[in-house]
Amino acid sequence: MNFGELITAMVTPFDKDGKIDFNAAEILISHLLENGSDSILLGGTTGESPTLTDAEKFELFKFGVDKFGSKTKIIAGTGSYSTEHSIRLSQSACKAGVNCLLLVAPYYNKPSQTGLYEHFAAVANSVDLPVILYNVPSRTSCNISAKTCIKLSKIKNIVGVKEAGSDFKQIAEIIRDTGEDFFIYSGNDGDTLPMLSLGAHGVISVASHLVGGYIKEMIKSFKRGNIAESARLHNWLLDIFYGIFIATNPVPVKAALNFAGINVGGTRLPLTDMEQDELEVFKKILKKYNLMKVD
């Protein structure tokens, strides 16, 4: 049930025609594994899941399993605003052979806490795979409360939560009142060290596309008791942690990968390239971390 301390929520590479570029995906996954990632999340928000068809998601999940299943664990993003659709996607991901599912809170619908519980319980009970919940109120317009998360943790195959709400009281309550076999992951790179101090396990990261080795060392330093070194790395990485959200994710991180010489293409509409003023600021951040290989 342990998927490691550093999971990368991977972008989905596209070719010039806007199709999934599987050759680029293979290069990118190899890069991520060489730079600290323990597991790979495919088809999450950073992977532009709302613009991927179900057939594309299945193909992406199967590709990850077939190419890298012997080297890492593949986590599939299968949550949506429809419980029935989430069940269908989750069962399809099971057939593809993935190791775990990530289920985002149903967005747009704004369900009650009872609705959230019933949704996640229905999806988890429809599969045999481990499930990680994903709480990201800024994206979904609803919050999985601590009470609901704790209740859900008692379902056998719900094994963790990616918590991106930045509500540290709520996070502390979840850590306090769930078992040791329930893993709490930071959903924001900038929250990782503060959450580790409360007892979180690790991070499901976007910045790890670019600075995965440093993030891994930050986590390891903290867990070895070298708090000063962990804090130094956290503080040094702040500009990249927040810079990659200068525009809507994953627009900046895709641009950064392209500048770093790892070609992942652009984004699908409705996402578009950064504005020129955003791009100029972002390039300065990338230069600070020596990530500009291609101008």
The domain 6-229 having CATH identifier 3.30.360.10: the answer here is: no
Q: Are 63 and 25 in contact (CB under 8 A)?
A: yes
Amino acid at the residue 4 = G
pLDDT in tens, the chain (295 residues): 789 999 999 999 999 999 999 999 999 999 999 999 999 999 999 999 999 999 999 999 999 999 999 999 999 999 999 999 999 999 999 999 999 999 999 999 999 999 999 999 999 999 999 999 999 999 999 999 999 999 999 999 999 999 999 999 999 999 999 999 999 999 999 999 999 999 999 999 999 999 999 999 999 999 999 999 999 999 999 999 999 999 999 999 999 999 999 999 999 999 999 999 999 999 999 999 999 988 7
Catalytic residues: 134, 162
Q: Checking DSSP bridges between strand 183-186 and strand 158-163, what pairing results, if any?
A: parallel
d(CA 15, CA 266): 8
Q: Are 97 and 108 in contact (CB under 8 A)?
A: no
Instruction: Show Cβ contacts of residue 263 under 8 Å, excluding neighbours closer than 6 positions.
Output: 13, 24, 257
Model pTM? 0.97
Q: Are 33 and 71 in contact (CB under 8 A)?
A: yes
Q: Which one, of 221, 220, 207, lies nearest residue 291 by Cα?
A: 207
> How do the domains of the chain map onto residue ranges?
6-229
d(CA 195, CA 186): 7
d(CA 112, CA 90): 22
Which residue in the block uniquely carries the two structure tokens 């149903």? 106
End-to-end CA, the chain: 42
